[in-house]
Chain A
Amino acid sequence: DAMVIQNPRYQVTQFGKPVTLSCSQTLNHNVMYWYQQKSSQAPKLLFHYYDKDFNNEADTPDNFQSRRPNTSFCFLDIRSPGLGDAAMYLCATSRDAVTGVSYEQYFGPGTRLTVT
């Protein structure tokens, strides 16, 4: 089945130690998103890629970076995690207007990040 995969599902890192979360998709969608979701809150968009074009949300801290080496993969890098970065990180994909509009986003299972 076509899907969005996130690894690892659970990640523990130390305060200030860089960490990378990964996302892959078999849907062949050209738009990919990273969200941060804290406990009992709605997902908050950090940034998205339209193909290789990177689009940062205005309030996303510089501590968060992303890479998309190809259509299938996207990475979230947290350069110096703080205690406040502990959250669920969700990857999502969608298909854009050029290839056929679907509007909805398809989410992966998420990676729960703990910062010690």
Chain B
Amino acid sequence: AQSVTQLGSHVSVSEGALVLLRCNYSSSVPPYLFWYVQYPNQGLQLLLKYTSAATLVKGINGFEAEFKKSETSFHLTKPSAHMSDAAEYFCAVSEGGYNKLIFGAGTRLAVHP
């Protein structure tokens, strides 16, 4: 069965600092991987996705993620944090023909001045 582990339930960075949110997955087949962001009392918004094309994926709001098969990782990065990046971030892997998503537990990102 597929699973996702997000290391660090809370991450705090200074405005302008590098953002690194970690995600490791397990899958017996080539995975499809996603990062979603959720602001308070909102739904989930897709940041970026990996679907077996380029291993370095660029998303919205300056985020990017690199798929590393040897490390079974799909970490999310942003060179310079902005206050508006404060939110909950979920990594997910796709399972099955109906695009069923398996979510990680989430990482809450705080950005302080």
* A residues with CB within 8 A of B: 4, 6, 31, 40-43, 45, 48, 50, 55, 88, 90, 92, 94, 96-97, 102-110, 112
Cβ of B94 within 8 Å of any chain A Cβ, yes or no, is yes
Docked complex Cα distance between A103 and B104 (Å): 17
Q: Which of B17-49 contact A (CB under 8 A)?
A: 32, 34, 36, 41-46, 49
Whether B43 lies near A107 (C-beta < 8 A) is yes
Cβ of B51 within 8 Å of any chain A Cβ, yes or no, is yes
Give the residues in chain B near A45, CB-CB below 8 Å. 100-101
Instruction: List 5 A-B pairs, Cβ < 8 Å.
Output: A42-B106, A92-B43, A105-B44, A109-B43, A112-B41
Whether B43 lies near A55 (C-beta < 8 A) is no
Give the residues in chain B near A41, CB-CB below 8 Å. 105-106
Docked complex Cα distance between A94 and B100 (Å): 10
Docked complex Cα distance between A107 and B39 (Å): 13
Whether B42 lies near A109 (C-beta < 8 A) is yes
Whether A110 lies near B51 (C-beta < 8 A) is no
A-B pairs with CB below 8 Å: how many? Answer: 60
Whether A55 lies near B98 (C-beta < 8 A) is yes
Docked complex Cα distance between A84 and B62 (Å): 38
Cβ of B90 within 8 Å of any chain A Cβ, yes or no, is yes
Q: Which of B71-106 contact A (CB under 8 A)?
A: 90, 94, 97-101, 103-106
Whether A31 lies near B99 (C-beta < 8 A) is yes
The residue on A at minimum CB distance from B9 is A40
**Residue from A40, A42, A94 in contact with B103 in the complex, judged by beta carbons closer than 8 Å:** A42
**Residue from A4, A43, A103 in contact with B32 in the complex, judged by beta carbons closer than 8 Å:** A103
The residue on A at minimum CB distance from B90 is A42
Give the residues in chain A near B49, CB-CB below 8 Å. 103-104
**Residue from A48, A102, A106 in contact with B100 in the complex, judged by beta carbons closer than 8 Å:** A48
